[in-house]
A = this chain, B = another copy of it.
Amino acid sequence: MSKILVFGHKNPDTDSICSALVKEKFEKNNGLDVEAVRLGNINKETKYVLNYLNIEEPRYIESIDDEQEVILVDHNEFTQSVNNIENAKIKKVVDHHRICEFKTAEPLYYLAEPVGCTSTILYKEFKRNNMQIERKEAILMLSAIISDTLLFKSPTCTEDDKLAAKDLASIANIDVEKYGLEMLKAGTDLSDLTELELINLDAKEVMLKNSKAIIAQVNTASIEDMMKRKDKIEEEMKKVIEEKNLDIFFFAITDIINSNSQAIVLGKKAYITESAYNVKLENNTAFLKGVVSRKKQIIPVLMEQE
């Protein structure tokens, strides 16, 4: 029997990588033969975390064999998962997203909570099982929480996330604000990425009510700098719309310092952005005050307009 593979979503963010590594540790402690893997390139924010801990990137996989046993973290929608997920044996899921386009043939362990970060749920799993959390896992989980909640400033951040982070910070003996800001800033250095890489960096394919959409997001310390690349970004977005037959491609450039986003929106349903946020798209773009969370402030808000 091959190992059970543990992974987060495609275009992995810090939560997807860190939670896979932490879940690997948790299941190993429970005696399972598991391996954390990744479904895409590691971004600079996550690299900062792995470098800080001096640990290797998980192995990259593109697809899985039929009947492969898997554990999913930080996602459930098959469009965001590994190729051939339809034919996998999904043993467990730990996630904090809506459930959609997900199905299994057999009963499984599924734990979802409406909190800001998958690692917060994993933290509770450790606690519930009276399992000791070591420094490495504490920093991995803390990094994921900081990343997903933008240092507790996102509207997705809950009391549970804050409590988990506080305890994890004390285990890790780390200054959360200092470490967190350095980590987030490391993630905003996107100067060496092509425009295609930018729009793919943290892109999620989602079904809105009746529309095929990609909602992509990048974090930045300067919206202005990023907008200098708007024409080329739009060029690449158009290609993806054609290739994937999308109804809408929503690209959010999120200012992590001031907690706002600039959206560039293309596709035949781009117009729903206007009623969703009561803004006018000018040259395909609009400033969205206070919007930082794809999960809370973009996906459900766009869905309402369909």
Residues of A bordering B, CB below 8 Å: 96-114, 128, 295, 300, 303
Chain B residues with CB under 8 A of A111: 110-112
One complex includes copies of this chain to the number of 2
The reply to whether A100 and B104 form a contact with Cβ atoms under 8 Å apart is yes
C-alpha gap A104/B98 in the complex (Å): 6
C-alpha gap A35/B236 in the complex (Å): 52
Chain B residues with CB under 8 A of A114: 106-109
Contact of A103 among B100, B108, B128, B300 (CB under 8 A): B100
Contact of A107 among B96, B102, B109, B110 (CB under 8 A): B96
The reply to whether B107 and A112 form a contact with Cβ atoms under 8 Å apart is yes
C-alpha gap A106/B99 in the complex (Å): 8
C-alpha gap A102/B111 in the complex (Å): 15
Chain B residues with CB under 8 A of A303: 105
The reply to whether B98 and A108 form a contact with Cβ atoms under 8 Å apart is yes
The reply to whether A112 and B113 form a contact with Cβ atoms under 8 Å apart is no
Chain B residues with CB under 8 A of A101: 103
Chain B residues with CB under 8 A of A128: 128
C-alpha gap A7/B174 in the complex (Å): 45
The reply to whether B109 and A98 form a contact with Cβ atoms under 8 Å apart is no
CB of A127 to closest CB in B, whole Å? 10
